[in-house]
Structure 1
């Protein structure tokens, strides 16, 4: 019985890793003995090309993914309705070329004699920059939805969704900086932090979604987290980022690009 594996290599349109590292990874992956799909941007594919990803899942027993933080990819797939039955993510933000190649190779149970390397692009008129909600941490406080002025979120006390992902403004992670639970992720954010998908240092799940949790403890922790946001200057940074995004929007409306 064969165990066919493929590798998805995110070429990260956001430039999270350098072009040199991308090229080194590409060359290091080619001799691994699996079919390789180099995607221009996994964030865009998971939002707009789910059928392609689901087709891969049907054609292969296992999908290995070289991309950014596993937490970011897992929650992005869940949010966008991408259902892969057997996959594993390898973090090229932090691992070096040799390490990630060795880690990927160790997960390949059976090499193929004949393989191919396919490069796939996606044509997006807007950048695939949008927030991902880590629902294992979200307490449904609604802070992100109240802070966002671009209509990205749909919120009530029982539900928070990213209703209009492409309404989010490129390079604006402001709403996520105000989240007291570190539940908002921007996978394309250059900084290496919980906001870009790293595991939060507190490693806590959402007490607010656990009916058996102590309500007073949960509220106290949330209030402390909000105070920390102010103390650390994150709220001020978020205000500056939101202001910059609004200015860019205003300028784009004044000077629309000529599509001709």
Structure 2
């Protein structure tokens, strides 16, 4: 360990209104197990449980939904690895770099 602090993380400034930037996760309902790990992890509140449903006469845990897509922070990918079932996917970051400017 060198004892020097890591470089400061730069802040992002959006170059377009957030509602015009289609950066948000998509949940594959077939893979989602309703564990709510994404909702527990995501501070901006992008995820919420969907409606409870019944299958084969058994009430099942609700699948998660992207209830507030524009709360998602553009270029954030931290929720994807949190999902134990791999149900969350995000767009390619390279396609959205043009919407972000990095500032000190």
- Normalising by structure 1, report the TM-score: 0.25
Which gives a bigger RCO, structure 1 or 2 (Cα 8 Å, sep 6+)? 2
1:179 to 78, 83, 100: 83
Q: How does 1:6-155 map to 2 (within 5 A)?
A: 125-126=17-18, 127-155=21-49
Task: Give the total of aligned pairs.
Answer: 69
Structure 2 residue runs of 5 or longer lacking an equivalent are: 1-15, 51-60, 95-101
> In structure 2, how many angstroms separate the alpha carbons of the residues matched to 1:180 and 1:159?
13
8 Å Cα contact 1:129-1:188 kept in structure 2:
no
Q: Quote how far apart the aligned CAs of 1:125 are.
A: 1.4
Q: Which portions of structure 1, spanning 4 or more consecutive aligned residues, are displaced by more than 6 angstroms?
A: none
> CA 1:183–1:189 in 2, change beyond 3 Å: closer, same or farther?
farther
Give the structure with higher Rg (CA).
1
SS of the residue 1:174 aligns to: coil
Would the alpha carbon gap of residues 183 and 177 (structure 1) be closer, same or farther in structure 2, given more than 3 Å must change? same
SS of the equivalent of 1:145 reads: helix
Match of 2:67 among 163, 170, 173: 163
Residues 152 and 164 in structure 1, CA contact (< 8 A), matched pair in contact too: yes
Unaligned 5+ segments in structure 1 are: 1-123, 191-247, 252-260
Contact 2:29 2:63 in 1 (8 A): no
Classify the secondary structure of the residue corresponding to 2:40.
helix
Q: Is the 8 A contact 2:47 2:66 kept in 1?
A: yes
Provide the residue aligned with 1:188 in structure 2: 92
Q: Tell me, what secondary structure is at the counterpart of 1:149?
A: coil
Q: Distance in 1 between matches of 2:67 and 2:80?
A: 16
Q: CA deviation at 1:155?
A: 1.9
